[in-house]
Amino acid sequence: MQVDVSIPAVARIDDFLLGGGHNFWPDRAAGERLVATVPGIKLAAVAHRGFVRRAVHTITGLGVCQFLDLGAGLPTLSAPHSVANEVTPGAVVVYVDNDPLVVAHAELLTEGDRCTAVVQADLADLDFVLGNDATRKLLDFTQPIAVLMCASLQHLPGDRDDDAAALVAAYVDALCPGSYLALSHMTADHDAEVAAVVQERFAATTTPVWPRDEPWLRKCFAGLDLLEPGVTTPAQWRPDRGDPGQHPDLYYVAVGRKPKA
């Protein structure tokens, strides 16, 4: 499949913001423009990646060693499979992304790792995501699984709020009790002006973004038991070492557990 690398891609811009090397000149140029107009955006990216790392570490520490990462992007710095295996060697991760170039990079980065798989799919195609051979080979749906939907649902258009929430519910329905959902989503609740700038910048990429509010995110966790501290910002979700520094709060994040019936 031919991939037009002249159009910046969100996953590669994120990699640039995090200091990674799996990006191209258009991604770096878009990232630099974003840095120039949104001071602290690199630190916001670091804070968000810190949440993902701590969420995976926490969930693995609670005994879950299977992960389905939807809209995964590039598994580079503090990748879920690396973090999970620090806690439980042999933990398995299925990465799902719809960008063919991101998938190709991810396959190279995880080549030879029998505990990971990379699936090219749109996360909205639930039947394929859950039913393809790679997913079924690695994940046992009779045992708890953690679904990661981190900065992925924000790429579903803003007029599809109900569809996005229904998609979350459908994935949760497919999981057995004791499974987890870790979700992060861009919001304009904290700083509408900065969020509007970010949204404008990403409108020129392969995957525009649409912020959503706190009530929407809480709806996604209906019926789940939220882990402390509940719905918050990335930097405030069980912070550990270090302070990412002053940065705009662009996300809501939360982790919930599916209770026994």
pLDDT tens readout for residues 189-217:
999 999 999 899 888 777 889 999 999 99
Q: Is 125 helix (H, G, I), strand (E, B) or coil?
A: coil
Find the CATH number of the domain harbouring 215.
3.40.50.150
What's the whole-model pTM score?
0.92
* Residue 5 domain-assigned (yes or no): no
Whether residue 229 has a cis bond before it, omega within 30° of 0: yes
Q: Write out the DSSP string of 144-187.
A: --EEEEES-GGGS-GGGHHHHHHHHHHHHHTSPTT-EEEEEEE-
The range of the structural domain enclosing residue 123 comes to 10-257
pLDDT value at position 3? 55
Q: Which of 73-87, 91-105, 211-225 is the most confident on average? A: 211-225
**pLDDT tens column, 156-198:** 887 788 999 999 999 999 999 999 999 999 999 999 999 999 8
* Residue 59 domain-assigned (yes or no): yes
Contact predicate 5/26, CB 8 Å: yes
Q: What is the mean pLDDT of residues 79-88?
A: 90
* Residue 228 domain-assigned (yes or no): yes
pLDDT at position 1 over 50 = no
* Residue 166 domain-assigned (yes or no): yes
Q: What is the mean pLDDT of residues 222-234?
A: 97
* Residue 4 domain-assigned (yes or no): no
d(CA 110, CA 87): 18
pLDDT value at position 242? 67
Contact predicate 75/102, CB 8 Å: no
* Residue 100 domain-assigned (yes or no): yes
* Residue 244 domain-assigned (yes or no): yes
Q: What is the mean pLDDT of residues 128-150?
A: 96
Number of folded domains that form the chain: 1
